[in-house]
Structure 1
Amino acid sequence: MKSKLMIVAILAIVVISIIAAGCTTTNTGATATPTTQAQKTITVIDDRGKTLTVPYPAKRVVFLVENAMNTMYAVGGADDISGIGDIWMPQYKEDFFRAVDSNYNATQKVGYVNGAVDLEALAKANPDLVVLWSADWDDKDTKAIEETLHVPVYGVFLRNFSDIYEQHRDFAKIVGNEKRGQEVLDTMNATMKKVTDVTSAIPENEKPTVYWMWGDVYGTAGLHSSTNDMINAAGGVNVVSKWNNDTKYDEHPVLTMEAIQALNPDVIYMWYNPNLDPKDIMTGEDYKAWRNINAVKNGRVYELDNPFLDDSMTSRLPLVVMKIAKNINPDKFASLDLNKEYDAFFVSVYGVHYPGYAKA
């Protein structure tokens, strides 16, 4: 009797197990969805040529290079920024950042300690992507971030117009705003075309030669640089193209005073320098050696005097080219109203007016 009961119990257990297994198999096949979905990813290639696998859409991006953060604002990614690095000349920029990013003040700030990224502050931002300035796959900050926080690092190193435009495509893709990214590029192209439609018709022998003056004065823009592209687009000729020295192809060649005098540029264009103005170059006691250069003799020394507005490594690149073109080819752009162009561009790209940053 006991053996019969035992057999019945075993059979009952087997039947129940089969039924349960069948139900489980049926349910799994019907839903085909795990309780927690795997994070989607996409691949992008940074300016160093490094292929990165990035969470998609990225929701926590840390920018240790502010030019690129401007691009993220343009493509609609303000809410996806979880950390912000040091800002150069913040007094010129932070009003704008606050206008386009309501979280700017509260966003985790990430600085540098002893010349290296503050990894502790960076970890607090809990990034799924870090963006920094770098030309080298294995620079110390990239390695430290990847090895310590196991987060992909997008290296920014802009050498030409194409790099700047590609950055917009990448960041729009990373945050899932491809349509917005294309709208920004369309505005940039339309603004640039207002300049190049005019400058492309200027005969080569009528274009002024331009010496670009970086902050170190004797350092200039080489032929393989985005600044060289700006000079060309604005209807000028980079004067180092006439220099018989192979370093002219470097991004940042350094000339001697004798070389600059021999090249005798028609225009000197200065990048923003808090310690030096065009007037200093033309009349300063320390710059007497420049007095016989055509640009100085004719009062044709100009400056990109606003480190925010004139940041050519952002969406505002066409506005910078427009300003340069109006300075170096004034007769061709006499009717161009820069203030009107600035405002229209800011409304289209950032959704605020310029100046003042009132919501559009």
Structure 2
Amino acid sequence: MNEKIVGAMLACLIACTMFLAPVTYADKGKADKEKTVTIIDSLGNRVEIPYPVERVVNVNLFADEVIVALGGEDKLVGIDLIPLAEPEFYPTLQNKPSVGLHHFPSYEKIIALEPDVVIASNDLMFLPGFKEKMEAAGIKVVYLNLWDPGTYDFDVRNLGIILGEEKRAEEYLKFVHSYIRMVEDRVKDIPSGERVGVYWEFHFPYMTMAEGSPIDKLIKMAGGRNVFSMGGEEFQMPTIPGLPAGMEVSTGLAIRTVSQEAIIEANPQVIIGEFLPMSVMTKGIGKMIRGEPYQMSIGYTDNPDVNMLKSIRDEIMNRPGSSAIDAVRNERVYIFPFSMLQTSARWPVGLIYLAKMFYPDRFEDMDPEEFHAEWLEKWYGLEYKGVYVYPEL
């Protein structure tokens, strides 16, 4: 694959940096009196924000759907481009001003909207001077990491404070954890030596994530064993031509590169592939940046591109030597569209899918699509449609 394209895609899509400190609530009486509240974000920053917040700009790819679930759209005065490519899933965000792609937003557009708070993702850290420029304009920056199970509760509660929806945030988490507990209770007694071995190919061929990553945590929560929790070569971020001076793209995630030979030797029982189609990068994002209409062909849509998912699965299964891998021999290779269920704020839905894939007998009574439909109806007022895994369970 062309190095420039790979680098640009990685710069746009790889989330980085792990959770450093828990969220704490300021004393509500004090907050009401002083009209501010101090929160601790996913980077461990103590951020004093107005209470209540009136104007929010969101450039966090993973926060959009939680903001909608909590009913906080009215506070949004600016968004990133991605929701505009998903009009069926984000109907209430289509008239919001865009400040650009989430990893490369326009500082000037954000400042012109005069938000009280900008919600950013940890992977924005490589943008030079972002936090400093926002704060110089009197804008607070809160970093959240909503696709990591280790920070999820804290991040949702922080959003509840920012949006003035603390009660709904607690209701949301109660609903989420009722299903998470169900999965964990059913797999907790599986001996470590009997857990299903899983290889997760993240976004590019032979790229995976090791111990401590959000993906590794999901595999373990669903009762699986990440066959590359250790090992593999450290992923090297490619040089990206044309970056502004001083901009260094880096990632704190435990990303590893493995070989086909290593996968054959590890012999996983389940293989998960997660990819964003090249067309979204080369065509879709270009259109969005130019202000042209574009709708993703994956995820929540009446016309999902199932052939795209099938072709990715076929490529994995037909690699040299793949016929010796249990997952391939037993047809247990599954493909998720990137950032639709697993690497997104909807990862608890994805957890149900994983549990069903790993242990169909233990979860014979559980229908992932039924839970997903309940999630969509309860938190977004939407009916279930689209394709989120191939082949369907």
TM range (shorter): 0.7 to 0.9
Q: Secondary structure at the match of 1:213?
A: strand
Deviates more, 1:127-136 or 1:227-236: 127-136
2:194 alignment partner, one of 192, 200, 206: 206
Amino acid at match of 2:375: F
After superposition, residues 1-360 of structure 1 pair within 5 angstroms as 40-87=35-82, 91=85, 93-98=86-91, 101=92, 104-111=93-100, 116-134=104-122, 139-140=127-128, 142-143=130-131, 145-146=133-134, 148-157=136-145, 160-241=148-229, 243-244=230-231, 251-274=254-277, 277-283=312-318, 287-305=319-337, 307-308=339-340, 310-314=341-345, 316-355=346-385
Measured at CA, do residues 341 and 117 of structure 1 come closer, stay the same or move farther in structure 2, by a change above 3 Å? closer
Measured at CA, do residues 213 and 112 of structure 1 come closer, stay the same or move farther in structure 2, by a change above 3 Å? closer
Shift of 1:50: 0.9
Shift of 1:200: 1.6
Aligned residues: 307
Return the alpha-carbon distance in structure 2 between the equivalents of residues 87 and 116 of structure 1: 12
Shift of 1:131: 1.3
Amino acid at match of 1:294: D
Measured at CA, do residues 106 and 38 of structure 1 come closer, stay the same or move farther in structure 2, by a change above 3 Å? farther
Asked if structure 2 preserves the Cα contact closer than 8 Å seen for 1:56 and 1:175, the reply is no
Q: CA RMSD in A?
A: 2.9
Deviation readout 1:143-172 (Å, 9 max, x if unpaired): 353255231111234574131121100010
Asked if structure 2 preserves the Cα contact closer than 8 Å seen for 1:325 and 1:333, the reply is yes
Deviation readout 1:181-211 (Å, 9 max, x if unpaired): 1000000001212222212233333321001
Return the alpha-carbon distance in structure 2 between the equivalents of residues 207 and 95 of structure 1: 38
Shift of 1:137: 6.2
Shift of 1:109: 0.6
Q: Secondary structure at the match of 1:277?
A: helix
Return the alpha-carbon distance in structure 1 between the equivalents of residues 44 and 80 of structure 2: 23
Asked if structure 1 preserves the Cα contact closer than 8 Å seen for 2:323 and 2:329, the reply is yes
Shift of 1:76: 2.2
Asked if structure 1 preserves the Cα contact closer than 8 Å seen for 2:275 and 2:336, the reply is yes
Amino acid at match of 1:153: V
Partner of 2:304: none
Measured at CA, do residues 228 and 271 of structure 1 come closer, stay the same or move farther in structure 2, by a change above 3 Å? same
Shift of 1:259: 2.3
Asked if structure 1 preserves the Cα contact closer than 8 Å seen for 2:232 and 2:257, the reply is no
Return the alpha-carbon distance in structure 2 between the equivalents of residues 311 and 299 of structure 1: 21
Shift of 1:349: 2.7
Structure having the higher helix fraction is 1
**Structure 1: 4+ residue segments shifted above 4 A:** 135-139, 243-250
Unaligned 5+ runs, structure 1: 1-36
Measured at CA, do residues 161 and 340 of structure 1 come closer, stay the same or move farther in structure 2, by a change above 3 Å? same
Asked if structure 1 preserves the Cα contact closer than 8 Å seen for 2:55 and 2:117, the reply is yes
Return the alpha-carbon distance in structure 1 between the equivalents of residues 89 and 126 of structure 2: 33
Amino acid at match of 1:45: I
Measured at CA, do residues 79 and 231 of structure 1 come closer, stay the same or move farther in structure 2, by a change above 3 Å? same
Amino acid at match of 1:254: T
Shift of 1:69: 1.8
Return the alpha-carbon distance in structure 1 between the equivalents of residues 324 and 126 of structure 2: 46
Deviation readout 1:270-297 (Å, 9 max, x if unpaired): 11342652122113xxx22433222222
Asked if structure 2 preserves the Cα contact closer than 8 Å seen for 1:75 and 1:168, the reply is no
Q: Secondary structure at the match of 2:115?
A: coil
Shift of 1:133: 1.9
Percent sequence identity is: 28
Shift of 1:342: 1.4
Return the alpha-carbon distance in structure 2 between the equivalents of residues 317 and 116 of structure 1: 24
TM-score, normalisation: structure 1: 0.76
Q: Secondary structure at the match of 2:184?
A: helix
Deviation readout 1:7-60 (Å, 9 max, x if unpaired): xxxxxxxxxxxxxxxxxxxxxxxxxxxxxx997211111111111111111121
Measured at CA, do residues 136 and 344 of structure 1 come closer, stay the same or move farther in structure 2, by a change above 3 Å? closer
Amino acid at match of 2:68: Y
Deviates more, 1:130-139 or 1:326-335: 130-139
- Looking at CA atoms only, which structure, 1 or 2, has the larger radius of gyration? 1
Return the alpha-carbon distance in structure 2 between the equivalents of residues 118 and 289 of structure 1: 47
